[in-house]
């Protein structure tokens, strides 16, 4: 028997998941397992990092998400607190690219259309976009476990049959979990009965929120940071008993003795999920060209016009311009330059302030001649190769600055020209900085603020410093760490986070 974890929350289940992606595949591998899923709460931020980390360790990545579903009879558009504040969990795993497209689409709409307390999808979306997906009935917050806990066995069974019909044969599984919670044991008995009466298959999972059993305390403190509580607050969210880690195959087999088929189904699902990502291939929107031109001839025309504006009749830089044009064409980025120059031209034509250019793009004469930048790379001896060269594996990055009060007009122009489905805005994530995490953990541990502040200020004020570096560089901090057990606990917990 081989077991695969199909219900795992990474650090991208923000301030809730504590399975760090860079460590996760290594832990899976050390236990002799060969695959693992990512199922963060309502988001897919982490899937690419997860995929790459798994591939690097020889672990098969299974891409998924634990989505929030509007209650039965409600839609993602309904936003009445009495009925819609509590959504239901459902685990969705991608079999293939069609499933990935469907899951990405639903997760996006959950945020843009369905957000109310949580990002929510609904039954209508599931019906339209279930192809290529495998569904698991989720934890105690799933629709079926909720109904079973409420004593609604017939309704739970009816919902299970509806989901089995929606996803198709062997695409919907009744999820069994056992973290030592009394309600789970009761729910599992009813799930077994539904399985026996309907033939809907079961699957065993462990709702992993941290990697190792000993990570439970650090995860508990993370939850306190999220909820603004302290560890000695009795009325707070907590994961008890502390069994929400990546259990070994042996532990799962012992826990679910008698449910061998449900354990083996983790491997069956693993074999069904075969999504592969392709990196390094670009899919640029089509740039609409004037009649009689291809992309390269139009780029050269615009560059020639721009050259005359920038340099007049002085031809001494023509060789550099041709060299850059040929390199851009050879690397397949002609349309990219046309697209950027077009929206910069639009911004300038309607009086939106545009920055003169920054970063390596300022070293390109093509950018200068297209008026993407306003810095003469020849005058300042800037290097085009720092911006673009045959060894570069990533797309050239042209950073543009627009006046912040009218930046939205440029985004709207690009949306109108290329379509909403070709324009995305991206997010960045902040990690806990050394001083900040000490203060957060100190508050959660109920340590006096003045004491914590003294410790935090012993961390050198250096950009991107880690607590390991701080202990090495600050003798005062390392002395305190060695001498005081409370300080040691504070810093060790902060290091983990």
User: Which two three-digit tokens encode residue 456?
Assistant: 């935090």
pLDDT tens profile 46-79: 999 999 999 999 999 999 999 999 998 999 999 9
Residue 281 lies in a domain: no
pLDDT at 240: 84
284 in any annotated domain: no
Tell me if 237 is assigned to some domain.
Answer: no
Within this chain, do residues 257 and 367 fall inside the same structural domain, yes or no?
no
Determine phi and psi for 468, rounding to 5 degrees.
-60, -45
Sequence-ordered list of residues with C-beta below 8 angstroms from that of 219, at least 6 positions apart, any chain: 18, 209, 210, 239, 244
* Same domain, residue pair 265 and 339: no
At 65, phi and psi to the nearest 5?
-160, 140
Across all residues in the chain, what is the average pLDDT? 94
Last residue of a domain, one of 418, 450, 483: 418
Q: What is the pLDDT of residue 239?
A: 87
Give me the helices (H) in 273-386, please: 295-311, 318-330, 334-349, 365-369
- Tally Cβ neighbours within 10 Å of residue 391: 6
pLDDT for res 428: 86
Distance CA 470, CA 201 (A): 52
Same domain, 484 and 355: no
Instruction: Give yes or no: residues 457 and 389 share one domain.
Output: no
pLDDT band of residue 389 (cuts 50, 70, 90) is confident
Helix crossing, 434-444 with 216-227: angle to 10°? 90
- Residue 290, C-beta contacts closer than 8 angstroms, at least 6 positions apart: 298
The pLDDT of residue 62 is 98
Mean pLDDT of 177-192: 95
Both 173 and 256 in a single domain? yes
Which of 418, 453, 487 is the last residue before a domain boundary? 418
* Percent with pLDDT over 70 in the chain: 100
Model-level pTM? 0.87
**pLDDT interval class at 1 (50, 70, 90):** low
Within a domain: residue 228? Answer: no
Whether residues 98 and 206 fall in one domain: yes
Q: 83 with 170, same domain?
A: yes
Q: Residue 351 domain-assigned?
A: yes
Our count of domains for the chain comes to 3
In a domain, 392, yes or no: yes
Question: Alpha carbon of 99 to those of 24, 69, 291: distances in Å?
Answer: 24, 17, 39
Co-location of 406 and 444 in the same domain: no
Q: Indicate whether 307 belongs to any domain.
A: yes
The CATH code of the domain that includes 260 is 3.20.20.140
In whole angstroms, what is the distance from residue 303 CA to residue 169 CA? 58
The Cα diameter of the chain in Å comes to: 86
- Pair 47, 106 in one domain: yes
* Domain span at 167: 24-211+246-272
485: CATH: 1.10.10.1600
Instruction: Looking at the structure, tell me whether residues 356 and 252 fall in a common domain.
Output: no
């Amino acid at each position: 028997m081989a077991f695969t974890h199909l219900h795992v929350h990474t650090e991208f289940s923000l301030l809730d998941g504590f399975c760090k992606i860079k460590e996760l595949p290594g832990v899976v591998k050390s236990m002799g397992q060969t695959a693992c899923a990512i199922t963060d709460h309502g988001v897919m931020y982490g899937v690419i990092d997860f995929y790459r980390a798994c591939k690097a360790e020889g672990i098969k990545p299974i891409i998924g998400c634990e989505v929030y579903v509007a209650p039965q009879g409600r839609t993602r558009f309904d936003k009445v607190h009495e009925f819609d504040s509590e959504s239901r969990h459902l685990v969705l795993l991608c079999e293939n690219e069609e499933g990935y497209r469907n899951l990405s689409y639903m997760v996006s709409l959950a945020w843009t259309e369905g957000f109310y307390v949580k990002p929510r999808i609904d039954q209508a979306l599931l019906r339209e976009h279930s192809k290529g997906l495998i569904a698991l009935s989720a934890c105690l917050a799933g629709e079926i476990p909720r109904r079973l806990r409420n004593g609604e066995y017939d309704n739970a069974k009816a919902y299970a049959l509806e989901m089995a019909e929606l996803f198709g044969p062997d695409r919907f599984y009744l999820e069994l979990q056992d973290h030592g919670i009394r309600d789970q044991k009761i729910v599992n008995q009813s799930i077994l009965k539904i399985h026996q009466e309907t033939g809907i298959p079961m699957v065993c999972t462990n709702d992993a929120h941290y990697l190792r059993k000993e990570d439970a305390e650090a995860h508990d403190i993370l939850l306190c940071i999220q909820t603004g509580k302290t560890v000695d607050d009795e009325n707070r969210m907590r994961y008890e008993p502390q069994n929400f880690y990546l259990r070994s195959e042996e532990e799962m087999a012992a826990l679910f003795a008698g449910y061998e088929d449900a354990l083996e189904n983790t491997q069956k699902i693993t074999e069904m999920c075969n999504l592969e990502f392709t990196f390094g291939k670009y899919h640029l929107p089509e740039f609409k060209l004037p009649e009689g031109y291809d992309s390269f001839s139009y780029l050269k025309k615009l560059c020639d016009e721009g050259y005359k504006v920038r340099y007049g009749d002085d031809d001494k830089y023509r060789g550099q311009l041709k060299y850059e044009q040929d390199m851009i064409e050879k690397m397949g980025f002609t349309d990219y330059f046309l697209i950027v120059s077009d929206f910069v031209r639009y911004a300038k034509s309607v009086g939106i302030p545009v920055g003169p250019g920054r970063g390596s793009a300022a070293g390109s004469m093509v950018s200068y001649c297209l008026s993407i930048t306003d810095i003469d790379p020849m005058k300042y001896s800037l290097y085009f190769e720092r911006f673009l060269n045959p060894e570069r594996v990533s797309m050239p990055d042209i950073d543009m600055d627009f006046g912040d009060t009218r930046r939205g007009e440029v985004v709207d122009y690009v949306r109108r020209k290329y379509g909403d489905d070709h324009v995305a805005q991206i997010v960045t994530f902040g990690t806990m900085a050394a001083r900040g995490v000490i203060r957060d953990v100190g508050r959660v541990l109920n340590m006096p603020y003045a004491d914590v502040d003294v410790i935090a200020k012993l961390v050198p004020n250096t950009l991107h410093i880690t607590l390991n570096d701080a202990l090495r560089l600050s003798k005062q901090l390392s002395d305190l760490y060695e001498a005081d057990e409370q300080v040691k606990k504070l810093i060790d917990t902060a290091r983990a986070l």
